[in-house]
A and B are shown apart, each in its own frame.
Chain A
């Protein structure tokens, strides 16, 4: 119940829908039981009792009552649905907002698939419970209560005899539910596995074909396919075992009813019409009981769903804006790190260790180091994607914690290692950070990123759709659009995190030449593996295991006998040798 209490803000504002729905449920359940009673009156009073003058009243009254029931059912169901979908609308917006602002640290540990299943299946589970779960529970109690009362009213002994199978039925139902849910989970899991298998196969089809492993893959697929089939048949066998049994137990009731009820009628203790009414009433009790397991299961599932949703809603966001945070339209781009240490989690080793440096506006800082040495971490502290464990990061002399996030981040143009583009037009992707940018500005940015020419060669130019239904761009093309996207926000600080890794050397050269222009008047951080990308930096920081091991200009570092020189030698010796032997 705790879970539902915590989620109250999402459904309680719409409680009126719920109360309407419940009110009408009471009405229609009451009416349901009227049908067998009318049947009984027709047989006993009209036909046997000879009161044929009642017929029109009975027939018309019946239709009238059923019309009321129809309207009642409509209102009950519709308001019940509304209760669920309105709450879900509110819940979804809140979840989305939460997800937009959760910090990088959260996403480092989250899996897209897991988040998606919470946002879809768990939201749906929660809605289903709001719309149906609770109502089913109420309906169950009402229907059984009213039916049993009516039966008792007709004949107490017959009721007892007829309902003698109920405990057995309840028992079988619970056994069934216990068996069938793990089986269903088995199907879902097996389907998920099969899905992954096929998806991997198709995504990796080039690898499969290049090593000629089609038969191997078909065999693996058949195993998964067979497993799915087996799991399904296993589940349907559970159905086959229990479902006829439940129906049979219901039928046993009917047989008991006929035997004992028939005997009572013969003895004159029961009227024939009452016997017929009983026959209908029995099923009003049997069906909800067969359904009970489903409802109980629904309840426990939606509770689990609610908990998983709360985990997102209550996730902590350690990166908060201070009250009265500084908002500056334009930053100068003066960056300073003072003894900054960063640990991603408590137990991890330091990702950054006592980093200090200063970057004056307009300067270019190069970062070199092997994978995991801390280059990316440095840049992500400037935008405050993470908080330093110790030390301060200052921009324009102000601690980044004091800035409003928007002021800070909109002044920093980030080209991430992995160039993620959205399902939208190229135009919209370039202006992603500044949706109000004009077409001229967009083209200008694309030109600077060496992207304009290839964009113009695409069938729809800047209106070409990217993403799932869009053009497949090469890695290099994507990177260039990502660079254009960063340029388009006209940032004071530009960060290029391995931004030209996927382009060929020639294009890289062109981009670099163009970037020279872009970098003017901005503080730029370049992360790269190629010395050629870094050599013109005003200062190069060489990182190893989170510490700065060397710093200085290209010319200084060349004679330093350190890691920079080693990397340089590896990259250049080859070329020198080749050229010297021929051009000499």
Chain B
């Protein structure tokens, strides 16, 4: 019976599958480290040295105080009953504490400023770089995986840059300092106590890493659990439609149990950590008591030295522990920085020529000369296309999915470069012009209108950030979007978001038209939506299109018969080749592919 239950359980666990980033740490790599630390360079003349000086002051004071208390205050003042010296020493110590207070204040302040500035620079660099990468980069990756690098991977370096690096310095000074001081006070006792150092190092590195790996397992399990929670909430309507609640609960219980078990293991290891550290410290103390008292008995050291030793013993663990932590941070930083640099090393495939021409105001005359294009070796999207679109014409591209319509549009915006052949606008090869000057004159209206969170007016203004409120409203009016906008609770100031339900598909489309109109491009590329919108909205969109197309070269990837019919020129594409071209009347008379396409559509409508 039990066996069967387990089998059911393991099946239930396969119901959903989630990706989890497996590699969390990487071996140390000097080259990468140097590259990472080069981001500190801009601060090498101010924040960096200032922070270091503060750290040194602070560490020095921490090192001196135990001697002052043990050797001087206790041995010389208290034991010798010297009240005057006691007063002086107390004043000195108080003075040192005040200095340390100031140094601490600036240390925390400057170190964080330094760390955050580096993180800011790094993130800015990465984002700017990614922003300018080509379409292909985004095609190959999910939005989530890019987001993780810009946000989480960079954040995981935060601790390294704010505290890690500088603490490393502090700890080394502290550790070496303590050893030197102890040695000068009593070499024999120091050597005796040193036995605990290797144990401490072992605990701080190996054991801690072991513990950290267990926590990573916990996090992986948790992220799986959270992925499922997220998905189960988003898909709740499907689940309830198919009454799969109980089945999902079995899955969840499995994941939840996995999480629980991994957590219990990690917890067990983790709970051993502190006792072991304390026990090691206790070992040191026992050595001190035994051997130290013996030395005092022989008159080799004073009580003050003994007390100082007791204080310094307590100071061993902190730097060793932190060194272990920084080491771990470095290893984790390796993994993050590798992922970050992978993006930074990615080159835009559409690279500008070394000396690009700024494209002046274009007229919009487009020529393709024997253009071949393949997305990858296996897939040739365009097989030697030559075509011409005249200034101000409306051109329709017609064909099945995968016939090359979208590819032609992408080449005009130069989202990709042709594999061979040339694309020219007003007779200028696109390879020679600057991307910015080209794209500023082209607008693409996509099938899926992306709505940024913000107000309606901000969303329209996205087409031209410099536009005034009046211009925005005029554009909205021109495409007939103002009617629905004004019906919204706050009109143009209504807040919308990507997945919000405030706008229907048709309304989104009108918004994107307004956006494009506001951008006032010379060339307009329109990817017609196939999503069925209710007929009333469809009528409005048809009207808006007429306004939008006026006075510019327009390339329309067309599905609606009415748009196709009114186009000045129609290209019928199939598997990357142009089969027919001409206007509607010409093509209908030809009774070729186009004629069949139109007729088939009509038959479908009628046959249902």
Contact indicator A420/B235 (Cβ below 8 Å): yes
Proximity string of chain B (584-596) to chain A, C-beta cutoff 8 Å, 1 when within and 0 when not: 1100110000010
CA distance A435 to B449 in the complex (A): 36
Residue among B131, B252, B584, B588 with the most chain A CB within 10 A?
Answer: B131
Contact indicator A116/B271 (Cβ below 8 Å): no
CA distance A433 to B565 in the complex (A): 45
Proximity string of chain A (4-46) to chain B, C-beta cutoff 8 Å, 1 when within and 0 when not: 0000000000000000000000000000000100110011001
- Indicate which residue in A88, A120, A209, A504 contacts B439 across the interface (CB closer than 8 Å): A209
Contact indicator A77/B151 (Cβ below 8 Å): no
Which A168-224 residues sit within 8 Å CB-CB of chain B? 191, 194-196, 198-218, 221-222
Which B573-608 residues sit within 8 Å CB-CB of chain A? 584-585, 588-589, 595, 598-602, 604-608
Contact indicator A255/B94 (Cβ below 8 Å): yes
A356 near B: Cβ within 8 Å? no
- Which residues of A are found within 8 Å of B78, using beta-carbon distances? 262, 265-266, 272, 275
- Which residues of A are found within 8 Å of B401, using beta-carbon distances? 504
B97 near A: Cβ within 8 Å? yes
A392 near B: Cβ within 8 Å? no
A304 near B: Cβ within 8 Å? no
Which B243-282 residues sit within 8 Å CB-CB of chain A? 243-245, 247-249, 252-253, 256-257, 259-260, 263-264, 267-268, 270-272, 274-276, 278-279, 281-282
Contact indicator A56/B290 (Cβ below 8 Å): yes
> With A107-B237, A243-B108 in contact, do A43 and B151 touch (Cβ < 8 Å)?
no
Contact indicator B256/A92 (Cβ below 8 Å): yes
B285 near A: Cβ within 8 Å? yes
Residue among A201, A275, A279 with the most chain B CB within 10 A?
Answer: A201
Contact indicator A89/B531 (Cβ below 8 Å): no
Contact indicator B504/A371 (Cβ below 8 Å): yes
> With A229-B120, A255-B90 in contact, do A78 and B232 touch (Cβ < 8 Å)?
no
B349 near A: Cβ within 8 Å? no
Which A444-480 residues sit within 8 Å CB-CB of chain B? 465, 467-469, 472, 475-476
Which A226-247 residues sit within 8 Å CB-CB of chain B? 226, 228-229, 232-233, 236-237, 239-241, 243-245, 247
Name the distance in Å between A91's Cβ and chain B's nearest Cβ. 10
> With A212-B442, A258-B69, A578-B561 in contact, do A504 and B530 touch (Cβ < 8 Å)?
yes
- Which residues of B are found within 8 Å of A279, using beta-carbon distances? 69
CA distance A370 to B588 in the complex (A): 34
Contact indicator A262/B605 (Cβ below 8 Å): no
B356 near A: Cβ within 8 Å? no
Contact indicator A229/B116 (Cβ below 8 Å): yes
CA distance A504 to B531 in the complex (A): 8
B420 near A: Cβ within 8 Å? no
Contact indicator B561/A198 (Cβ below 8 Å): no
- Which residues of B are found within 8 Å of A206, using beta-carbon distances? 135, 138, 444, 446, 450
Name the distance in Å between B113's Cβ and chain A's nearest Cβ. 6
Which B465-511 residues sit within 8 Å CB-CB of chain A? 465, 498, 504
B388 near A: Cβ within 8 Å? no
- Which residues of B are found within 8 Å of A561, using beta-carbon distances? none
Task: Return the chain B residue nearest A370 by Cβ.
Answer: B534
Contact indicator B296/A47 (Cβ below 8 Å): yes
Name the distance in Å between B12's Cβ and chain A's nearest Cβ. 9
Contact indicator A416/B267 (Cβ below 8 Å): no
Contact indicator A424/B17 (Cβ below 8 Å): yes
A67 near B: Cβ within 8 Å? yes
Proximity string of chain B (63-90) to chain A, C-beta cutoff 8 Å, 1 when within and 0 when not: 0000001000110011101110011011
- Which residues of A are found within 8 Å of B14, using beta-carbon distances? 428
Contact indicator B260/A218 (Cβ below 8 Å): no
Which B282-313 residues sit within 8 Å CB-CB of chain A? 282-283, 285-287, 289-290, 293-294, 296-297, 303, 306-307, 310
- Which residues of B are found within 8 Å of A58, using beta-carbon distances? 289-290
Proximity string of chain A (91-113) to chain B, C-beta cutoff 8 Å, 1 when within and 0 when not: 01100110111101001001010
> With A198-B150, A214-B132, A528-B532 in contact, do A262 and B278 touch (Cβ < 8 Å)?
no
Contact indicator B101/A245 (Cβ below 8 Å): yes
> With A198-B147, A468-B142 in contact, do A424 and B16 touch (Cβ < 8 Å)?
yes
Name the distance in Å between B249's Cβ and chain A's nearest Cβ. 6
> With A69-B278, A259-B90, A475-B531 in contact, do A468 and B559 touch (Cβ < 8 Å)?
no
- Which residues of B are found within 8 Å of A549, using beta-carbon distances? none
> With A59-B289, A74-B271, A423-B16 in contact, do A405 and B443 touch (Cβ < 8 Å)?
no
Contact indicator A55/B310 (Cβ below 8 Å): no
Contact indicator B69/A112 (Cβ below 8 Å): no
- Which residues of B are found within 8 Å of A557, using beta-carbon distances? none
Q: Which of A157-165, A339-347, A529-537 contacts B (4 or more CB under 8 A)?
A: A529-537
- Indicate which residue in B235, B297, B532 contacts A501 across the interface (CB closer than 8 Å): B532
Q: Which of A140-148, A290-298, A394-402, A567-575 contacts B (4 or more CB under 8 A)?
A: A567-575
- Indicate which residue in A81, A112, A217, A232 contacts B267 across the interface (CB closer than 8 Å): A81
Q: Which of A323-331, A406-414, A517-525 contacts B (4 or more CB under 8 A)?
A: A406-414
Contact indicator A262/B73 (Cβ below 8 Å): yes
A301 near B: Cβ within 8 Å? no
Contact indicator B565/A211 (Cβ below 8 Å): no
- Indicate which residue in A212, A240, A262, A489 contacts B77 across the interface (CB closer than 8 Å): A262
CA distance A369 to B538 in the complex (A): 14
CA distance A55 to B306 in the complex (A): 14
Name the distance in Å between A441's Cβ and chain B's nearest Cβ. 15
Proximity string of chain B (98-117) to chain A, C-beta cutoff 8 Å, 1 when within and 0 when not: 10111011111100110011
Name the distance in Å between A202's Cβ and chain B's nearest Cβ. 4
- Which residues of B are found within 8 Å of A112, using beta-carbon distances? 230, 233-234
Contact indicator B532/A239 (Cβ below 8 Å): no
Contact indicator B519/A211 (Cβ below 8 Å): yes
- Which residues of A are found within 8 Å of B442, using beta-carbon distances? 210, 212
- Which residues of B are found within 8 Å of A205, using beta-carbon distances? 138
CA distance A527 to B601 in the complex (A): 21
Contact indicator A97/B18 (Cβ below 8 Å): no
Proximity string of chain A (502-523) to chain B, C-beta cutoff 8 Å, 1 when within and 0 when not: 1111101100100000000000
Proximity string of chain B (118-130) to chain A, C-beta cutoff 8 Å, 1 when within and 0 when not: 0110011001101
> With A428-B15, A536-B608 in contact, do A272 and B79 touch (Cβ < 8 Å)?
yes
A70 near B: Cβ within 8 Å? yes
A559 near B: Cβ within 8 Å? no
Contact indicator A416/B237 (Cβ below 8 Å): yes
Name the distance in Å between B58's Cβ and chain A's nearest Cβ. 9
Task: Return the chain B residue nearest A385 by Cβ.
Answer: B240
Contact indicator B127/A225 (Cβ below 8 Å): yes
- Which residues of B are found within 8 Å of A46, using beta-carbon distances? 293
Contact indicator B18/A469 (Cβ below 8 Å): yes
Contact indicator B143/A202 (Cβ below 8 Å): yes
A284 near B: Cβ within 8 Å? no
B3 near A: Cβ within 8 Å? no
> With A47-B296, A63-B283 in contact, do A104 and B559 touch (Cβ < 8 Å)?
no
Contact indicator B267/A85 (Cβ below 8 Å): yes
Contact indicator A423/B17 (Cβ below 8 Å): yes
Contact indicator A78/B267 (Cβ below 8 Å): yes
Name the distance in Å between B65's Cβ and chain A's nearest Cβ. 9
A66 near B: Cβ within 8 Å? yes
CA distance A237 to B111 in the complex (A): 10
Contact indicator B16/A532 (Cβ below 8 Å): no
Which B416-451 residues sit within 8 Å CB-CB of chain A? 436, 439-440, 442-446, 449-450
> With A244-B101, A532-B604 in contact, do A570 and B109 touch (Cβ < 8 Å)?
no
Contact indicator B231/A467 (Cβ below 8 Å): yes
User: Can you name 15 extra interface pairs (CB under 8 A) apart from A93-B252, A210-B443, A247-B101?
Assistant: A35-B285, A39-B310, A47-B297, A62-B285, A81-B271, A89-B259, A100-B249, A203-B498, A222-B124, A229-B117, A240-B112, A369-B534, A428-B16, A465-B17, A529-B534
9 nearest A-B pairs in the assembled complex, by CB-CB distance: A210-B444, A433-B242, A70-B275, A236-B112, A66-B282, A212-B439, A469-B19, A244-B104, A204-B450
A/B interface sample: 11 pairs, CB < 8 A? A63-B282, A107-B237, A211-B444, A229-B117, A241-B105, A244-B102, A251-B97, A424-B15, A432-B244, A535-B608, A575-B601
